[in-house]
Amino acid sequence: NSVRDGLTCAIVELVFARDIGAVADLFGELQLLPDSVLNDPAERLALTEALDEISKKVLVFPGPSDPGRVPVLRFDNLLSALFQLVTRFKLTLPPYFLNNARALATLEGIAKRLDPSFNVLQVVYPFVLDRLLRNPS
């Protein structure tokens, strides 16, 4: 549950608050990063900068004329970006996370073939809101 809640918080921090530092904190709280990264200010800064660059490649935010829309997640870019973090910062991803990510990538590919405007974050959005309302901490 803590990993699921942490990932829910990461989505909220990225999508709604655009707070990259908070996402880095969540990775630490979930023990996905070694102490050598978390406790070294230079490594911590490099992680935050890497996450910022990744968010620019992975999330496409709507323009100012459509502020109420959920951003589009470029899932194909997300997986390659996560593997860069694994290599550079020794990010630990639980095996079930990788299995779920592969399954989601496949399902998203199928959905996009059927509906090119499909947006996985649009589908996940109600779940995230429900989790936040049930457990706002």
Residue 49 banded pLDDT, cuts 50, 70, 90? very high
Over 90: is that where the pLDDT of 58 sits? Answer: no
pLDDT at site 2: 66
Name the percent of the chain lying above pLDDT 90: 12
Q: What is the mean pLDDT of residues 39-67?
A: 86
From first CA to last CA, the distance across the chain in angstroms is: 13
* Six-digit token string for 22: 């908070």
pLDDT at site 63: 77
Torsion of CA 19, 100, 106, 92, to 10 degrees: 60
Smallest Cα–Cα separation from 119: which of 58, 64, 67?
Answer: 58
Q: What is the mean pLDDT of residues 84-89?
A: 90
Model-wide pTM > 0.85: no
Question: Average pLDDT, whole number, for the chain?
Answer: 81
Q: What is the mean pLDDT of residues 11-34?
A: 79
